[in-house]
């Protein structure tokens, strides 16, 4: 039995060095050379080096001149991600969806059946960076009017930023909200900072 425990200890130490250590070092070294941007988290920086965010992680947008991401159960907190875990029959959940529907109808001036379900349901991670193209189209008129630019130009931008499914059939067509908003700011003047309210989250 003592022999077995000794072998167990030796095995634990050896494999810990191999799989806890060497395996990570190998992938880290490869990643640094081959995918330096992705392995650091696909960050976007301002010219002065400060970080704006990550293309893979949703951030809150509330101003009328920007496209809004999907609802988040964690307030887009990328340090503690998660979904709502609301069951499909939970009355409180269905009430929250109804309130989001009404808010979206009022904000975008549309009918209920024009509201895509993605915009009234929380994502699994709470930081889903994408919206489907119809959810972007839904917001085009509002964004255009807040910026005083033609809707057609905004729609062109949406189309340019629509990522099709892989090989035409795998996954879904989607629009990255942060990239689209940054493209908007590049193409047209950013909305006045006064229009942006700091919510504290």
Partner 1 sequence: MGTEAVAVGAVILFATATSVPLGRYMARVFSGRRTWLDPVLVPIERLVLRLTGVRADEQQNWKQYSVSLLASNVVLWLATFAIVSLQKMLPLDPDGIGNMEPTLAFNTISSFVTNTNLQHYSGETGLSYFSQMFEATFLQFVTAATGIAACVALLRALTRDRETHIGNFYVDVTRASVRVLLPLALVVGTLLMWQGSPMTFRGAARAITVEGRPQTIARGVVAPLVAIKQLGTNGGGYFGSNSTHPYENPSPLSDLVETWSILAIPMGMIWTLGDMVRRQRLAVMLFAVMVAMYIPMVTVAVAQEAGGNPGIARLGVDQASGSMEGKEVRFGAPLSALWAVSTTVTSNGSVNAMHDSLTPLGGLMPMVGMWINGIFGGVGVGFINMFIFIIVAVFVAGMMIGRTPELLGKKIESREIKLASLALLWHPLAILVGTAIACHVWTATAHPGVALGWLHNPGPHGFSEMLYEFSSAAANNGSGFEGLGDNTAFWNISTGLVMLLSRYIPIIAPLALAGSLAAKPGMPETAGSLRLDSATYGFTLWAVVAILGLLMFMPVAVLGPIAEYLTLR
Residues 70-129 that bind partner 1 (CB under 8 A): 70, 76-91, 93-94, 97-98, 101, 112-118, 120-129
Distance from C-alpha of 126 to C-alpha of 119, rounded to nearest angstrom: 13
Residues 132-171 interacting with partner 1 (rule: CB under 8 A): 132, 134, 165-166, 168-171
64 interacts with partner 1 by CB under 8 A = no
Cα 29 from chain centroid? Answer: 28
Other CB atoms closer than 10 Å to residue 104's CB: what's the count?
Answer: 22
Helix (H, G, I), strand (E, B) or coil at 44: strand
Q: How far is the CB of 191 from partner 1 (least distance, A)?
A: 10
Q: Which of 21, 107, 148, 156 binds partner 1 (CB under 8 A)?
A: 21
24 interacts with partner 1 by CB under 8 A = yes
**Segment interacting with partner 1, rule: CB under 8 A, options 47-55, 142-150, 154-162:** 47-55
Q: Considering beta carbons, is residue 15 or 156 the nearer one to partner 1?
A: 15
Q: How far is the CB of 3 from partner 1 (least distance, A)?
A: 8
Query: Residues 35, 43: contact at Cβ < 8 Å?
Result: no
33 interacts with partner 1 by CB under 8 A = no
Q: Considering beta carbons, is residue 143 or 178 the nearer one to partner 1?
A: 178
Q: Considering beta carbons, is residue 110 or 149 the nearer one to partner 1?
A: 110
**Segment interacting with partner 1, rule: CB under 8 A, options 140-148, 149-157, 193-201:** 193-201
CA distances from 39 to 26, 28, 31, 32 (A): 13, 8, 6, 7
Place of tokens 């060095």: 17
134-138 contact pairs (CB < 8 A, 24+): 135/70, 135/175, 136/67, 136/162, 136/175, 136/180, 138/104, 138/108, 138/110, 138/114
With CA atoms as reference, report the closest residue to 182 among 75, 40, 69, 55: 55
Q: Considering beta carbons, is residue 14 or 152 the nearer one to partner 1?
A: 14
Binding-site residue total for partner 1 (CB under 8 A)?
105
């Amino acid at each position: 039995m003592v022999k077995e425990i000794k072998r167990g200890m030796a095995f634990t130490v050896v494999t810990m060095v191999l799989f806890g250590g060497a395996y990570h070092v190998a992938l880290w070294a490869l990643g640094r050379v081959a995918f330096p941007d992705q392995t650091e988290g696909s960050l976007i920086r301002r010219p002065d080096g400060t970080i704006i965010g990550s293309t893979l992680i949703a951030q809150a947008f509330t101003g009328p001149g920007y496209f809004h991401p999907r609802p988040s159960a964690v307030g887009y907190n990328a340090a503690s991600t998660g979904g709502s875990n609301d069951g499909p029959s939970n009355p409180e959940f269905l009430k929250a969806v109804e309130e989001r529907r009404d808010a979206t109808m009022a904000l975008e001036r549309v009918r209920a059946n024009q509201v895509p379900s993605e915009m009234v349901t929380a994502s699994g991670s709470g930081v889903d960076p994408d919206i489907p193209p119809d959810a972007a189209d839904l917001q085009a008129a509002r964004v255009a009017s807040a910026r005083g630019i033609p809707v057609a130009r905004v729609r062109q931008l949406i189309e340019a930023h629509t990522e099709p499914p892989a090989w035409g059939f795998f996954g879904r067509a989607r629009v990255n909200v942060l990239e689209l908003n940054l493209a908007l700011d590049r193409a047209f003047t950013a909305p006045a900072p006064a229009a942006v309210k700091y919510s504290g989250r």
